[in-house]
Amino acid sequence: MASLLAASRPVAAAAVATVGPAVGGGGGPRGMAAGRRRGKGSRGAAAVAGGGGRGGGDGDGEGDGGLDDLFENNRHWAAAMRDGDADYFRKLSTLQRPKYLWIGCSDSRVPANVIVDLPPGAVFVHRNIANVVTHTDLNCLSVIEFAVTILRVRHILVVGHDACSGVTAALHPPGHGALLDAWLRHVRDVRVRAAAELAALPDDTARVDRLVELNVAAGVANVAATGAVQAAWARGDDLTVHGWVYKLGDGLLRDLGVSVAGVKGVGEAYRMGQPEDDGRAKGG
């Protein structure tokens, strides 16, 4: 886990310097892919910086190349990967053996592999609005079951981020559409349990940041209570559930210190998600 947290640090530093290298990292296949993209008009750098590349600043996929840019970017990326390893795609197509399941937010600024500087095949990913984990979401539960029972991942990472639009919406009365309001009910439940603590904070920014943390802690507890994870621990699998928060302002991950590594830790995970406990980030 320390290596993943550390990986976000050089990526963030590179992003400040030139943006482009943050996509690929050092001199391996990922770095080569980023270099080739930069040589073709810095499309990758523009995309990471939020400019949308040559597809237009509004991100609608139309005008100034539109979707053709995506296919062109893909061709350059695939060629760069083959330049680094002629057998790269053959090997990738025969097996996936990730150690990590990432349960994160759908926010386009929080791409799992990029943040931890890992290549395709290294991270199994599930994303939804506000990184919610609930026992009624068959999509998320099936991903957890597949990751734990078939892929045998060793770490499940529940990852929130600051300035989360979903969490922000959950702080306010419903009114965002029936489906979205129903989905955010799970975050609102966390908000209600922490109402006194959140009300004592100085402003909405602080309240959003704290609710992000509490929502992650609740997600860790819910993951730990799933049948698939409980069964994995019962058979002695080495599996840990972690809670992290990603900071958009500096590109770094923070460990909230709410990890659970066995059946006995589930109750503690629920307690750590309660407002009277300080589950704030450590490190970073």
Residue numbers annotated as active site: 105, 107, 109, 161, 164
- Tokens linked to 201: 């904070």
CA-to-CA distance for 188 and 174, rounded, in angstroms? Answer: 10
Q: How far apart are CA 216 and CA 40, in angstroms?
A: 39
Query: Does 140 count as an annotated binding residue?
Result: no
Q: Are 115 and 11 in contact (CB under 8 A)?
A: yes
Q: Are 140 and 83 in contact (CB under 8 A)?
A: no
Edge to edge, the sheet with strand 123-128 lists: 123-128, 100-105, 155-161, 240-247, 252-255
Answer yes or no: is 105 a known binding residue: yes
Two tokens at 2?
């320390």
Please report, for residues 7, 22, 73, 262, the alpha-carbon distance to residue 284 in angstroms, rounded to integers and kept in the order given: 12, 18, 33, 26
* Binding-site residue set: 105, 107, 161, 164
Q: Provide the annotated binding site for Zn(2+).
A: 105, 107, 161, 164
